[in-house]
């Protein structure tokens, strides 16, 4: 079953604006990962944040993790039209093969 | 590095046909690979975990006899949709975990296979 939920389901912004996506999950995790998917393609890994980390940056991306609230957020600053895609959070579950459970995703549209 | 090739990218076939999808790690070894299914505008649902040299582990509700998984080498896993029917039409995506980096590192995804059953 799905691990968590993301909001908003869809986000439409203008180039240059910031985009914030939120993710919630239900169980204990080893880490939380964010992926991007262009339409009809596979997923590309963006950033991984471990359960003992609270914030991480990579270029224009900023991810936060609040394990007490079981939530994470992805901020994309100074968005570009090329950022248009679906964004998914995924939690790596403890034990087993560290399989990933994906959230519902946010469809981001950045307009020129 | 860390490229996963998935083939074919698109399949259109008649109901009752069996379809094989390949997932290859091109520049790394992957003892563990994963198969996902994705419906339009929805998230990825994990179908099964594929392990080289052993039986796959299927998620609850996934029919083992319907979705046959073979992981015969450290760089290749295959998913066969047996006797496919229109309800099996979907986007199937594989991913692989690099043996060098361990379980907590990101998975590397193929570009997916769009399966359409007429």
Task: Please count the residue pairs, one from chain A and one from chain B, whose beta carbons lie less than 8 angstroms apart.
Answer: 66
Residue B19 has a pLDDT of 97
Q: Which residues are within 8 A (CB) of B11 and not within 5 positions of it... i.e. 6 or more apart?
A: B19, B21, B113, B114, B115, B116
- Beta-bridged to residue B114, according to DSSP, are B10, B91
Predicted local confidence at residue A106, as pLDDT: 95
Q: Is residue A4 within 8 angstroms of chain B, CB to CB?
A: no
The Cα–Cα gap between B10 and B68 comes to 19
B72 in Cβ contact with B51 (< 8 Å): no
Q: Which residues of B touch A2 (CB under 8 A)?
A: 43, 45
pLDDT digits (tens, 9 = 90+) for B49-100: 999 988 999 999 999 999 999 998 999 999 999 999 999 999 999 999 888 8
Tokens encoding B56: 């796959």
8 A C-beta contact, residue B75 and residue B23: no
**Helix, strand, coil fractions of chain A, as percent rounded to 5:** 5, 60, 40
Cβ-nearest to B109 among A31, A43, A105? A43
| B91 and chain A in contact, CB less than 8 A | yes
Interface probe with A: pick from B21, B35, B106, B108, most Cβ of A within 10 Å: B106
User: Cβ–Cβ of B42/A104 closer than 8 Å?
Assistant: yes
Contacts of B60 (CB under 8 A, 6+ apart): none
pLDDT in tens, A43-59: 999 999 999 999 999 99
Whether residue A101 lies within 8 A of chain B, CB to CB, comes out as: yes
The span from the CA of B75 to the CA of B109, in Å, is 13
């Amino acid at each position: 079953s799905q691990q968590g939920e993301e909001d908003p389901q869809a986000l439409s912004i203008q180039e240059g604006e910031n985009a914030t996506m939120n993710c919630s999950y239900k169980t204990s995790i080893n880490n939380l990962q964010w992926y991007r998917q262009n339409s009809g393609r596979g997923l590309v890994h963006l950033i991984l944040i471990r359960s003992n980390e609270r914030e991480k940056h990579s270029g224009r991306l900023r991810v936060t993790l609040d394990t007490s609230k079981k939530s994470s957020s992805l901020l994309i600053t100074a968005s570009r039209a090329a950022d248009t895609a679906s964004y998914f959070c995924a939690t790596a579950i403890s034990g087993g093969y560290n399989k990933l459970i994906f959230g519902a995703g946010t469809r981001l549209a950045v307009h020129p | 590095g860390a490229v996963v090739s998935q083939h074919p990218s698109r399949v259109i076939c008649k109901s009752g046909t069996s379809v094989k999808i390949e997932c290859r790690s091109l520049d790394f070894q992957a003892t563990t690979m994963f198969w996902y299914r994705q419906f339009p505008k929805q998230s990825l649902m994990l179908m099964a975990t594929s392990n080289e040299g052993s039986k796959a582990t299927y998620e609850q509700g996934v029919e083992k006899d319907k979705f046959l998984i073979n992981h015969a080498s450290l760089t290749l896993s295959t998913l066969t949709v047996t006797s496919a029917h229109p309800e099996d039409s979907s986007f199937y995506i594989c991913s692989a975990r690099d043996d060098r980096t361990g379980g907590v590192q990101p998975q590397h995804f193929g570009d997916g296979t769009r399966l359409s059953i007429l």
